[in-house]
Amino acid sequence: MSPENCDYYFLRAEGEMGELTRAKDWSKTSIGHPSGWPASLRTTVGILLNSKSPMFLWWSDELICFYNDAYRPSLEIDGKHPSILGMPFKEAWPEIWETIGPLIDKVMNNGESLMFDDYLVPIYRNGRIEDAYWTFCYNPVHNDSGKVGGVLVTVSETTEKVITALKIEEIDQRFRNTMKQAPVGITILRGPQYIVEMANDAYLQLVDKAETEFTNKPLFESLPEIEETVHALLDNVLTTGVPYRGIELPIPTNRYGVKDVCYFDFIYYPLKEDGTITGVIVVVTEVTDKVETRKKIEESKRLYETIAQNTPDLIYAFDLNYRFTYANEALLKMWGCSREDAIGKGFLELGYEPWHAEMHEREIDQVIATKKPIRGEVSFPHAELGIRIYDYIFAPVINKKGEVEAITGTGRDNSDIKKAENELKKSEEQFSTLADNMENLAWLADGEGWIYWYNKRWLEYTGLTMEEMQGWGWQKVHHPDHVERVLEVAKKVWHVKETFELTFPLRRHDGEYRWFLTRGYPVTDEEGKIVRWIGTNTDITEQKKAEEQFKVLADQAPMWVWLTDKEVNVLYTNPEVLRYFGIAHYTEFTGYIWEQNVHPDDIPLVYRFFGEAASLQQSFSFEIRVLNPDNQQYEWFFVKAVPRLEEGEFTGFIGTGININEQKNFTRELEDKVLLRTAELKASEEKFYKLFNLSPICKSLTDAITGKIVMVNDTFTQIFGYSREETFNKTTAEVGKLDILQPDFLFNELKVHGKINNLEIEFTKKSGEKFFALTSVDIITLDDKEYFLGAYIDISGRKWAEKVLEQKNIELERMNKELQSFAYISSHDLQEPLRKIQTFASRILEKEEGNLSDYGKDIFNRMQNAAKRMQTLIQDLLAYSGTNKTESKFETTDLNKIIAEIKEDFKEELKEKLATIETIQLGNAYIIPFQFRQLMHNLIGNSLKFSNPKIPPHIKIKSEIAYGINFNIEHLSPQGKYCHISISDNGIGFDQQYSEKIFEVFQRLHPKNEYIGTGIGLSIVKKIVENHHGIITAKGEVNNGATFDIYIPAT
Amino acid sequence: MNLTPLHFFLADDDTDDCFFFKEAIDEIPESINLTTVFDGVQLMQLISAEETPLPDALFLDLNMPLKSGIECLTEIRSIDKFEGLPIFIYSTSLNEEVVDLLYEKGASYYICKPREFGEIKNILSKAVALLTQNKSTRPDRKEFILET
């Protein structure tokens, strides 16, 4: 035996096939014993037997088969294992030689490798035949000579892969089928043209297209109507890869022959292949019905909501826990809170009173239990309107199962209705109370005229009971002559819905018939049906009588009297009208009558007033001339018409016409007279102008309103130096250059006193020269217009004189004062040396008496006397000048007291001369006491001095108070009250011719040696009287006494 | 009869009157020392001097140069030292108002200068009599004017 097969390295391999290969007697094959195998065969077989992957080898031209354990399973299927080991191909696979043979030839002959993918080669494994897929690789194996010696088949199983692929395909198919049959429309669009790759039935149906005409075409070619809506959306998905989801998108459609807009939900989903977007999957559901349904629901909901929110009624809902789940606007308003605050809240939380909340909760319970609505009425304080009354209904909301799910409620504010009801009730009560108490008869009837109620007054009037009167009982009290007529009318009026009026006589309980006006007012319900009649009957008997009286009166009236209706148709004319216009009856009175009788010029007037009368319904009057039938002359008539009103309603006119011919003529005469008078006035005005212009006194005429000069006379132009034109339209103040305040003052003066009298005003001439003018202004009326007439008298000269005089006066006064003080001082100082002379003289007489001769003594005595006289003179002068001082005070003084003092002064003298002073009714006087004392001193002194040496002096002093008028003395004010003091004596008196002279200073009536005196005493007396604003007179007769009368004002 | 001679001050600017005054007091029985000044200033200087003894009476003319009688009267009456000094106003005028004023100012008596020398003597005798009887008492207004 040759070396055993097992000895060969290349046959050394584990496993069945290694064993079988070694066990095989290869010598019996064409390739012989392994010892003789070429190296390439040996190597290949070694790889084959040791490989775990399936391998098969055909070697030599005979294609002897080798295979390994891994390959074995695929041969087990058709039972070729192990028999085919060492067999030629043709013998082993006669059945496939035809197909495989040429392939193997290719490899053998051309040295090519061949690959066959995914061959289904069912194999037996795991106890059954299984489909398996394989990928075969036919590789040439070169022999030692470099030629192809065999074919090595390597196999890899691709069953898994193939099965997966198959499964995928199946899914794909199934997907497509599913898609096809899906109830939603699906289509796949490819590329930027959106070529329809596929569209399912649903889609086709949606677009109303057959598959054949739709697929493989650009989408928008088939459905141009949707391009505008969706093209951009698709583009966006295609470029960005972001899916688009459209919900209820309105899309125009054109299908089933109808153009429309329908609603679709759809998804555009990008189709990605190898990372790039190649198309879009479209999934569409039509939701048109849904949208439309929903729209309808929304619409009806909105409708409902609008109603609920806008109704003044309250609408609301509760859940079963008494909580509000809905409240409309009206209810929120009632609560005065917002929806947010109200929803979910219970009654108490919403401010209901506890009793109120409990009541509603109880009611809700009842609704839930009975499943029936419930109705009620309750008051609630409305947030804005206050307490209102609500009529409300709670109703259950029942679900399918028949359970109460919620409670709805409605409420209605019926406060006003309630109020109206109450008011109606009240007003009816009031009406019957009123009706019972009113003077008129009143009744109420139903719509058919059946009278069901009469007021008390009616029953009293007729003396019948309500029962007797009710219904048609009223006929019983109607006058038999009228009842038929009234019935006739009554039948009709009930069917006419208008107020009616009717007059008829009604029988009173005592049998007397009185006339009544009945008025029926229909009362209608909301539908306009008459529900009742309210009637009143007014007693018009008096009215009827009055009408008759009016007629009697009018028939007698000596003027026209007529009546018309609303349309101004004549209803009546009195006989005077008929007579004047020559007609028999008022019905003949027409416009024609006017035209025949009225003066043609006045006819338009008649038509105008009567034409407007019916529409204006106002009083009117006019004057016309009417032909008098008696003398065929036109005479003036005053026609007047006033509206006739009955219960405030216009019913026509009552008119009169009065002959005013005489008045008219009188008026005309009067007017003529006025014209004449006016003309006369004009003439007098002309006279005035003439006088004005020619007046030698400077005059101006000024407009009383504007104050502007209207005219000036020649004298004015001469004095002021202005021409007339220059003065015109200026005020006098402007022309005369008055200072600013003066015009106002003058104007005021004029207003208050109506004139200005002799006022001194300084004017300035054109030349600038100033002058004073005595100005007078009067208001005069010319041509019905007021003017100021001014007159100016130049008083510059007088003014100057006055000024000089005034200065002189001042000077004089100053001099007078100087003189007084001079007199006083000098007389005082004069006394000094005089006193010394007297003292020295007395000293000489005393000391040197013995040394003087009798002659010397006599001379000395004379000197002493002269000195003494001088002393008296000076003292009197002093007194006289002292009386000028007027600052002395007046006092009411008892004259008796003064006389008593003077008596004391003259005590010695009175005694010596046996003189008496008699006072008669001496009273008080208002005097300067010390001056008056001086006065009395001087007068009494005089009386004593100038006494008749033969008889003892007797002085009478008396006083009285009386009015000036009683004294018959010039210069006394007649109404002034005076104190009259008279001093009379029985002395030597004086010649009356000296009665004035005696009061002059230094005037003496007697030689010094006879009567000592300075001639100043009476001057002082007069001066004192003058200081008392009084008068003194002297009466005397030689040797028969003197009387001095003093009159001074009494208080 | 008083043994101690009285001391009179006479203030008068009229020298004649001073002469008459002097003659008169010389002829009345009382012995009187007389000091004469001719104006108010002199009077005030003299009367205010420490060494000058207080006179028994002051005869004051009103019309004086430099300082009038009224001024002197007012001044004297304001000085305590002269309280009680009899002041006889010796003036020609007999103006009631002036007399009132003098009485008010505190003069003791008022003498109107007489025309007869005899009267001067009489009135001065009266004054002396008043002084010797009750020096300090001021008369009522009624008796303010001394008359012969």
Mean pLDDT for each consecutive 10-residue tract of chain A (1051 residues)?
Answer: 64 82 85 85 87 85 86 73 85 79 83 82 67 83 85 83 84 79 84 88 86 88 88 89 87 85 88 85 86 84 81 87 89 88 89 90 91 89 87 89 89 81 74 72 80 83 82 81 81 77 85 85 77 82 80 82 86 85 83 84 87 86 87 88 83 87 83 84 81 84 85 86 85 77 75 82 86 86 82 83 87 77 69 85 84 85 83 76 64 90 87 90 86 88 89 92 85 87 92 84 68 77 88 90 92 76
ipTM of the complex as predicted: 0.76
pLDDT tens by residue, A752-801: 888 888 888 888 888 888 888 888 888 888 777 888 888 888 888 888 88
Contacts for A766 with CB less than 8 Å, ≥ 6 apart: A720, A721, A722, A726
Closest-CA residue of B relative to A825 is B93
User: Given this model, what pLDDT does residue B9 score?
Assistant: 93
Closest-CA residue of A relative to B94 is A828
User: Given this model, what pLDDT does residue A1 score?
Assistant: 40
pLDDT tens by residue, A824-875: 666 667 778 888 888 888 888 888 888 888 888 888 888 888 888 788 878 7
Q: What does the angle CA A388 – CA A391 – CA A397 come to, to the nearest 5 degrees?
A: 130
SS3 A188: strand
Contacts for A483 with CB less than 8 Å, ≥ 6 apart: A475
Residues 870 through 929 of chain A touching chain B, CB cutoff 8 Å: 871
What does the H/E/C string look like for A231-300?
HHHHHHHHHHCCCEEEEEEEEEEEECCEEEEEEEEEEEEEEEECCEEEEEEEEEEECHHHHHHHHHHHHH
DSSP type of residue A82: T
- Write the DSSP assignment of A497-545 as a string of letters: -S-EEEEEEEE-TTS-EEEEEEEEEEEE-TTS-EEEEEEEEEE-HHHHH
Contacts for A985 with CB less than 8 Å, ≥ 6 apart: A943, A946, A947, A953, A954, A955, A956, A1041, A1042, A1043
Residues 179 through 218 of chain A touching chain B, CB cutoff 8 Å: none
| A491-498, long-range: CB < 8 A, 24+ apart | A493/A449, A493/A520, A494/A447, A494/A448, A494/A449, A494/A530, A494/A533, A497/A522, A497/A524, A497/A528, A497/A530, A498/A522
Count the residues in chain A: 1051
Contacts for A768 with CB less than 8 Å, ≥ 6 apart: none
Measuring CA to CA, how many Å separate A753 from each of A709, A746, A750, A776, A778?
21, 10, 5, 12, 10
Closest-CA residue of A relative to B24 is A843
Task: Please answer whether residues A411 and A380 qualify as being in contact, where contact means their C-beta atoms are separated by less than 8 angstroms.
Answer: no
The token pair that represents A427 in the structure block: 């007003």
**Residue A498 in contact with partner chain B when CB distance is under 8 A:** no
Q: How far apart are CA A912 and CA A898, in angstroms?
A: 21
Using CB atoms, pick whichever of A831, A832, A839 lies closest to residue B117.
A839
- Select the residue from B116, B121, B124, B148 to test the A interface by mutation, using most A Cβ atoms within 10 A: B116
Asked if B93 and A828 come within 8 Å (Cβ–Cβ), the reply is yes
Q: What does the angle CA A71 – CA A75 – CA A81 come to, to the nearest 5 degrees?
A: 105
Is beta strand A123-125 parallel, antiparallel or unpaired with respect to A128-130?
antiparallel
- Select the residue from A843, A846, A864 to test the B interface by mutation, using most B Cβ atoms within 10 A: A843
pLDDT tens by residue, A864-876: 888 887 888 787 7
The token pair that represents A170 in the structure block: 């199946």
Q: What does the angle CA A995 – CA A997 – CA A1002 come to, to the nearest 5 degrees?
A: 135
- Helix-helix angle A796-848:B117-133, to 10 degrees: 80
Using CB atoms, pick whichever of B20, B23, B92 lies closest to residue A832.
B92
pTM attached to this predicted model: 0.32
Please report the sign of the dihedral spanned by the C-alpha atoms of residue A956, residue A957, residue A960, residue A963: positive
The neighbouring-strand residues paired with B33 are B7
**Residue B97 in contact with partner chain A when CB distance is under 8 A:** no
The token pair that represents A931 in the structure block: 């001056």
User: Given this model, what pLDDT does residue A1009 score?
Assistant: 60
Using CB atoms, pick whichever of A828, A846, A871 lies closest to residue B117.
A846
Count the residues in chain B: 148
State residue A923 phi and psi, 5-degree precision: -125, -155
Measuring CA to CA, how many Å separate A514 from each of A469, A477, A548, B14, B117?
18, 11, 15, 136, 139
The residue type of A852 is: L
The token pair that represents A986 in the structure block: 């029985």
Task: Please answer whether residues A898 and A940 qualify as being in contact, where contact means their C-beta atoms are separated by less than 8 angstroms.
Answer: no
Cα A42 to its chain centre, rounded Å, is 128
Contacts of B120 in chain A (CB under 8 A): 839
pLDDT tens by residue, A246-270: 888 888 888 888 888 888 888 899 9
Alpha carbons within 13 angstroms on the beta-carbon side of residue A464 total 19
- pLDDT band of residue B1 (cuts 50, 70, 90) is very low
Q: How far apart are CA A605 and CA A615, in angstroms?
A: 17
Q: Is A783 exposed, middle or buried (0-12, 13-18, 19+ CB in 10 A)?
A: exposed
Question: What is the side-by-side order of every strand in the sheet holding A324-327?
Answer: A324-327, A314-318, A404-413, A386-398, A374-382
Task: Please answer whether residues A994 and A950 qualify as being in contact, where contact means their C-beta atoms are separated by less than 8 angstroms.
Answer: no
Task: Please answer whether residues A113 and A140 qualify as being in contact, where contact means their C-beta atoms are separated by less than 8 angstroms.
Answer: yes
Residue ranges of the alpha helices (H) in B7-116?
15-27, 40-48, 69-77, 96-105
**Residue B142 in contact with partner chain A when CB distance is under 8 A:** no
Task: Please answer whether residues A650 and A671 qualify as being in contact, where contact means their C-beta atoms are separated by less than 8 angstroms.
Answer: no
**How far away is chain B from the Cα of A844, in angstroms, using its nearest Cα?**
10
Residue B134 has pLDDT above 70, yes or no: no
The residue type of A452 is: Y
- pLDDT band of residue B90 (cuts 50, 70, 90) is very high
User: Given this model, what pLDDT does residue A453 score?
Assistant: 81
Is the bond preceding residue A82 a cis peptide, omega within 30 degrees?
Answer: yes
Asked if A835 and B116 come within 8 Å (Cβ–Cβ), the reply is no
Task: Give the closest residue to A474 by CA, choosing from A506, A511, A514, A431.
Answer: A506
State residue A74 phi and psi, 5-degree precision: -70, -15
Helix (H) or strand (E) holding A563: strand A560-564
**Residue A50 in contact with partner chain B when CB distance is under 8 A:** no
Is beta strand A709-712 parallel, antiparallel or unpaired with respect to A698-703?
antiparallel
Alpha carbons within 13 angstroms on the beta-carbon side of residue A904 total 7
Measuring CA to CA, how many Å separate A658 from each of A236, A664, A732?
108, 12, 57
Contacts of A871 in chain B (CB under 8 A): 115
Is beta strand B32-37 parallel, antiparallel or unpaired with respect to B57-60?
unpaired
Counted across chains A and B, CB pairs separated by less than 8 A come out at: 28
Measuring CA to CA, how many Å separate A459 from each of A134, A416, A435, A490?
133, 37, 12, 21
Using CB atoms, pick whichever of B23, B92, B116 lies closest to residue A831.
B92
